[in-house]
Amino acid sequence: MKTLALSRPIAALRLLALLALPCTVLAAENPPSGDAARGATIAATCQGCHGAHGEGVPATGGPRLAGQTAEYLATQLHNYSDGRRTNPIMSAIAKGLDAQKQADVAAFFAAQSAPYAARSVQPTPEQLARGRLLTRVGDESKQLQACANCHGPDGSGEPYATPYLAGQSAVYIASAIREWKTGARPSGALMGPVAQRLDDQDIAALSAYFESLGDNAH
Ligand code: HEC
Ligand code: HEC
């Protein structure tokens, strides 16, 4: 009953938004809903770099996708295809998928719960301790807030807001943070300032820490 009571004002707001926004924005605001069964066929072409069930293939740089929300995955594909996010491999692949196919393949990977890919780094105990501290507490001397504030406890993800990091490949996490630092990855209004405060040692510690959580999360 609660949802019913809530859905009316939300529907009214949506309608207002629809009337007010130009068509280009509408397309992004209302992506088609995805069909995981149709997505499975498309996902066969992603296997080489993301694994058959989205477990990720760190050696290729392909991140883990399994269990990431469909909204997050579809948004990233959309960002690649409209040029907001660029990567030599993924930009070309995403441009080959229309919005429906992007939604379908996103729905497929969101529904997967795959075993973890082999670890790509062997962290020292000091790195794990530093990664855990930055994740849970942050570092006031660098004005760096805890990653968990946005990414959920130990990077388990906040549905509809931020992707999970627990169990993500260290190679990919480090590369994403470096791209924000250099500006090569421009879509990070929130991550930009975080990345600027991380030096190479902290990037190595955080990426190794999150990867190590793969065995007990997601
Ligand atoms: C040849 C290797 C390769 C293939 C094939 C490939 N990918 Fe990727 N994918 C990558 C790499 C490398 C990245 C990381 C790029 C970056 O840093 O932006 C990536 C990133 C992504 C991301 C962003 C993940 C995130 O956490 O932000 C999504 C979503 C994605 N790929 C979906 C797909 C889908 C769907 C397919 C198949 C239709 C596919 N990829 C095929 C290599 C590949
Ligand atoms: C203020 C909120 C916020 C904080 C704090 C934050 N993040 Fe993020 N992060 C986000 C959002 C939102 C995204 C996804 C959207 C985007 O790509 O900008 C993201 C994305 C990421 C990604 C990319 C994941 C992927 O699958 O592509 C990485 C890696 C990451 N964050 C690492 C970190 C680390 C490490 C910390 C702590 C040092 C941290 N974040 C702190 C909001 C935050």
In tens, the pLDDT along 190-217 reads 999 999 999 999 999 999 999 999 865 4
- The residues with which 139 forms a beta bridge, in sequence order, are 144
CA–CA distance, 112 with 110 (Å, rounded to integer): 6
In tens, the pLDDT along 163-198 reads 999 999 999 999 999 999 988 887 667 999 999 999
Nearest by Cα to 31 from 71, 66, 68, 69? 71
What is residue 94's predicted lDDT score, i.e. its pLDDT?
Answer: 98
In tens, the pLDDT along 103-125 reads 999 999 999 999 898 888 999 99
Cα of first residue to Cα of last residue in the chain, in angstroms, is: 31
Nearest by Cα to 135 from 94, 96, 164, 100? 164
139: Cβ contacts below 8 Å, ≥ 6 apart: 133, 197
Question: From the alpha carbon of 106, which atom of ligand 1 is closest?
Answer: 35
Residue of 191, 201, 202, 206 with the most ligand 2 atoms within 8 Å of its CB, for mutation: 191
- Whether 51 has a pLDDT exceeding 70, the answer reads yes
Indicate the pTM of the whole model.
0.88
Cα of 63 to ligand 1 centre, how many Å? 7
- Whether 159 has a pLDDT exceeding 60, the answer reads yes
Sole residue written with tokens 């072409």: 45
| 110 CB near ligand 1 (under 6 Å) | no
84: Cβ contacts below 8 Å, ≥ 6 apart: 78, 186, 187
Write down all domains in the chain, each with its CATH number in brackets: 33-116 (1.10.760.10), 125-215 (1.10.760.10)
- Whether 84 has a pLDDT exceeding 70, the answer reads yes
Buried b (16+ CB within 10 A) or exposed e, 89-108: ebeebbeebebebbbbbbbb
In tens, the pLDDT along 55-79 reads 999 999 999 999 999 999 999 999 9
pLDDT band at 128 (very low <50, low <70, confident <90, very high): very high
**Mean pLDDT along residues 12-28:** 38
- Joined together, the tokens standing for residue 186 give 């421009």
- Whether 16 has a pLDDT exceeding 70, the answer reads no
Cα of 48 to ligand 2 centre, how many Å? 25
Instruction: Quote the crossing angle between the two packed helices 70-81 and 88-95, to the nearest 10°.
Output: 100
Atom 36, ligand 2: residue with shortest CA distance: 147
| 45 CB near ligand 1 (under 6 Å) | yes
Q: Are 12 and 74 in contact (CB under 8 A)?
A: no
Question: From the alpha carbon of 85, which atom of ligand 2 is closest?
Answer: 17
Mean pLDDT for the chain overall: 86
